[in-house]
Amino acid sequence: MGTERKRKVSLFDVMEDPSLSAKNTKSNGLGAAAGVSDLINKWNGKAYSQRYFEILEKRKDLPVWLQKDEFLRTLHSNQTLILIPQFVLDAVVAENTDTRKKWLIGCTQPRRVAAMSVSRRVADEMDVTIGEEVGYSIRFEDCSSSRTMLKYLTDGMLLREAMADPLLERYKVIILDEAHERTLATDVLFGLLKEVLRNRPDLKLVVMSATLEAEKFQEYFSGAPLMKVPGRLHPVEIFYTPEPERDYLEAAIRTVVQIHLCEPPGDVLVFLTGEEEIEDACRKINKEVSNLGDQVGPIKVVPLYSTLPPAMQQKIFDPAPEPLTEGGPAGRKIVVSTNIAETSLTIDGIVYVIDPGFAKQKVYNPRIRVESLLVSPISKASAHQRSGRAGRTRPGKCFRLYTERSFNNDLQPQTYPEILRSNLANTVLALKKLGIDDLVHFDFMDPPAPETLMRALEVLNYLGALDDEGNLTRTGEIMSEFPLDPQMSKMLIVSPEFNCSNEILSVSAMLSVPNCFVRPREAQKAADEAKARFGHIDGDHLTLLNVYHAYKQNNEDPNWCFENFVNNRAMKSADNVRQQLVRIMSRFNLRMCSTDFNSRDYYVNIRKAMLSGYFMQVAHLERTGHYLTVKDNQVVHLHPSNCLDHKPEWVIYNEYVLTTRNFIRTVTDIRGDWLVDVAPHYYDLSNFPNCEAKRVLEKLYKKREKEKDESKSRR
DNA sequence: GAGCACTGC
């Protein structure tokens, strides 16, 4: 349970619940819950274990423990205030004496690992078996049962449950934890729960947040009461640079060296923006410190980012190196990390934080429907979170590589919520499925730009998920069941018509996991050669299919993966995703089928099926030699990772990435006349910007007309 | 001829 510097907002429906006031006389029940001293566990009727008492002693030291009675009293007099899931359990038990009645408390987390680890911790605290009274539910793993009273789940998972059960009737209380992170799913849940509360006076909602935005949450939920829990962090001294730094990377490295030279022992955490920058910085830090000779203590520089193999990630928990000689200068661990260390991963023992003030952040441009990652300044809230990482074990220091003036004047107070930075096609589809028909008047805490919503509706309409009135179609309903982007769900749904659903399942799975091609710095050539062996001349999607087939043919052998520079983890995960997709296909009686591999149509069918989903992500090769995206007319380049041996006239692409240039990544050759067949509604030339592609398409349409006439006259 | 912030279903 996050007990660090947090302000917890507890919010309930403003409507009064008569069943609560009727129970007000039973305050003893509440008090008793806090002071249980029996040796029998009231949750499962078993004797408490030794471990229970050990954990209990530690829990009693937590700041929140002192407030438990206060909370329960407040609940008693306010009818509405509860905090911390275990307390909620006590409270709900006290209020629901009828044990035959089923009820469930759900607690959401933004990340799977958190849902798992927090539920394990709570099960330990209550001395019950995980998956019984306390459980969790995440994608690919449901560890809960009919006995479960307290269930941890990811916010995305609760949203999924809501799609099948719009009033969330299984739940008595819903707790949204880490609400300040404002994930897309949490924001959708905010709006949704606000509506559900109106229709379910018996449902209670608790929102937990760690920032000053608490007041905003209060206002959004009609003035719900606020409770604060003191933090347990040590003080962190903040230092700013007197002048702005021109090169934050250089400044960060210089600061590491300074700390190592001048500061007392203690580990260092440096925030940088991405893998390449981090690896580069690690090498430079090692070099600079080795130049200092043995007058300084030894260092251990550890990179940290999400795509790092777990064994490498574990190194952040290694202790700092021992002094080289007895009594010599102390060693120091230096962790160089992305934002992953800001929220997802906590490293104890960090005393010094270096914050250059940047992070890669997702931005969305609705005009060209492109999501991209841009290095941008962080928010004050984020800077605060980063500095807090220095004070977990003892008082620390944070070096901000920007001026105090810049902190005060330039940084926005909060990071823009994800919902304002994302393509919302998938979200809008989910909302439609949840029965939200009027998106314009849906009560978003931060309403997305109307253009973003319009774009999402437009895309869903072109895909046939929404009709012209904006109502969910049967296709849209099925699409919403897939944990994929709408384009991909569409291509899966139509794939049986092209007799290639087995292959489209594999391609979809491969596109849903991290890049499967490994390219170590020391073996780039060998890795490129290995990749080329999987290459399909018609495109990267088909190359991915080749890799998947080869992986299966080699019995999912990790050694085979290693020898072929294929990421075994990615492949395992693709297999897992594929199985999930197969289950969904079966549920809707979508046929699993393949074209005969020796048929000329084998790959043609696959490419046509892909086009049926991705007809809005097409680029045309202009006579000038560069590609223009169709309709949006953006100049793009084939990403150098592609494995085509030629420049096709038309390609579909999976991703548009803005880095040194505008790249389209994962591309496959398709034919212009398929566009006319597969997506005539999108390639309606009366509604098409004037360009070379339009003229080519005009010819194709004329040819089509002519062929039709000829076949008619022949008949 | 370049990269992969972080999540989630």
- Model pLDDT for residues A669-692, shown as the tens digit of each residue: 999 999 999 999 999 888 888 889
Sign of CA dihedral A123, A128, A130, A133: negative
Dist CA A342 CA A335 (whole Å): 12
Question: Å from A343 (CA) to B4 (C1')?
Answer: 19
**Residue with nearest Cα to nucleotide B2 C1':** A640
* Nucleotide of closest approach to A580 (CA, C1'): B9
* Nucleotide of closest approach to A184 (CA, C1'): B8
Percent of chain A predicted with pLDDT > 70? 87
> Which string of b and e fits A648-674 if b means at least 16 CB within 10 Å?
bbbbbbbebbbeeebbbbbbbbbbbbb
Tokens of A341: 């260390």
Question: Å from A264 (CA) to B3 (C1')?
Answer: 38
Question: Å from A639 (CA) to B1 (C1')?
Answer: 8
* Nucleotide of closest approach to A154 (CA, C1'): B8
**Residue with nearest Cα to nucleotide B9 C1':** A483
Question: Å from A685 (CA) to B5 (C1')?
Answer: 39
Question: Å from A120 (CA) to B5 (C1')?
Answer: 28
Give the 3-state secondary structure of A247-291: CHHHHHHHHHHHHHHHCCCCEEEEECCCHHHHHHHHHHHHHHHHH
Question: Å from A177 (CA) to B8 (C1')?
Answer: 15
A258-295 pLDDT tens trace: 999 999 999 999 999 988 899 999 999 999 999 988 88
Question: If you average pLDDT over residues A552-578, what whole number do you get?
Answer: 92
Q: Which of A201, A119, A115, A210 is nearest to A157 (CA)?
A: A115
A321-355 pLDDT tens trace: 999 888 888 999 999 999 888 887 788 889 999 99
The mean-pLDDT minimum among A29-38, A369-378, A435-444 falls in: A29-38
What one-character-per-residue DSSP string does A44-103 give? TSPBPPHHHHHHHHHHTTSHHHHTHHHHHHHHHHHSS---SHHHHHHHHHHH---TTS--
Question: Å from A76 (CA) to B5 (C1')?
Answer: 44
Question: Å from A642 (CA) to B1 (C1')?
Answer: 10
A436-491 pLDDT tens trace: 988 888 999 999 999 899 999 999 999 999 999 999 999 999 999 999 999 999 99
Per the CB < 8 A criterion, the answer to whether A298 and A321 are in contact is yes
* Nucleotide of closest approach to A304 (CA, C1'): B5
**Residue with nearest Cα to nucleotide B3 C1':** A276
* Nucleotide of closest approach to A430 (CA, C1'): B9
Burial of A211 (0-12, 13-18, 19+ CB in 10 A): buried
Nucleotides of B under 7 A from a protein CB: 1-9
**Tokens 């120091």 -> residue:** A332
* Nucleotide of closest approach to A362 (CA, C1'): B5
Residue A592 has pLDDT above 90, yes or no: yes
* Nucleotide of closest approach to A640 (CA, C1'): B1
pLDDT for the residue numbered A71: 60
**Residue with nearest Cα to nucleotide B7 C1':** A111
Burial of A95 (0-12, 13-18, 19+ CB in 10 A): buried
Phi first, then psi, for residue A628 (nearest 5°) are -120, 135
> Which string of b and e fits A31-43 if b means at least 16 CB within 10 Å?
eebeeeeeeebeb
**Residue with nearest Cα to nucleotide B6 C1':** A340
Question: Å from A247 (CA) to B5 (C1')?
Answer: 20
Residue A232 has pLDDT above 70, yes or no: no
Question: Å from A544 (CA) to B1 (C1')?
Answer: 21
* Nucleotide of closest approach to A373 (CA, C1'): B5
Dist CA A244 CA A406 (whole Å): 8
Dist CA A332 CA A327 (whole Å): 15
**Residue with nearest Cα to nucleotide B1 C1':** A640
Question: Å from A456 (CA) to B1 (C1')?
Answer: 34
Query: What is the CB-side half-sphere exposure of residue A371 using CA atoms within 13 A?
Result: 15
Dist CA A203 CA A130 (whole Å): 25
pLDDT for the residue numbered A364: 87
Question: Å from A126 (CA) to B6 (C1')?
Answer: 32
A90-142 pLDDT tens trace: 666 666 655 545 678 999 999 888 888 888 888 887 888 999 889 999 988 89
pTM of the model: 0.86
Dist CA A220 CA A549 (whole Å): 51
Query: What is the CB-side half-sphere exposure of residue A503 using CA atoms within 13 A?
Result: 26
Cβ neighbour number for residue A120 with a 10 Å cutoff: 17
**Residue with nearest Cα to nucleotide B5 C1':** A360
* Nucleotide of closest approach to A641 (CA, C1'): B2
Question: Å from A543 (CA) to B1 (C1')?
Answer: 19
Classified as helix, coil or strand, A576 is: helix
Q: What is the residue type of A329?
A: P
Per the CB < 8 A criterion, the answer to whether A449 and A420 are in contact is yes
Question: Å from A481 (CA) to B9 (C1')?
Answer: 9
* Nucleotide of closest approach to A418 (CA, C1'): B7
**Residue with nearest Cα to nucleotide B8 C1':** A156
Question: If you average pLDDT over residues A73-96, what whole number do you get?
Answer: 54
Tokens of A114: 């958190």
pLDDT for the residue numbered A313: 85
* Nucleotide of closest approach to A155 (CA, C1'): B8
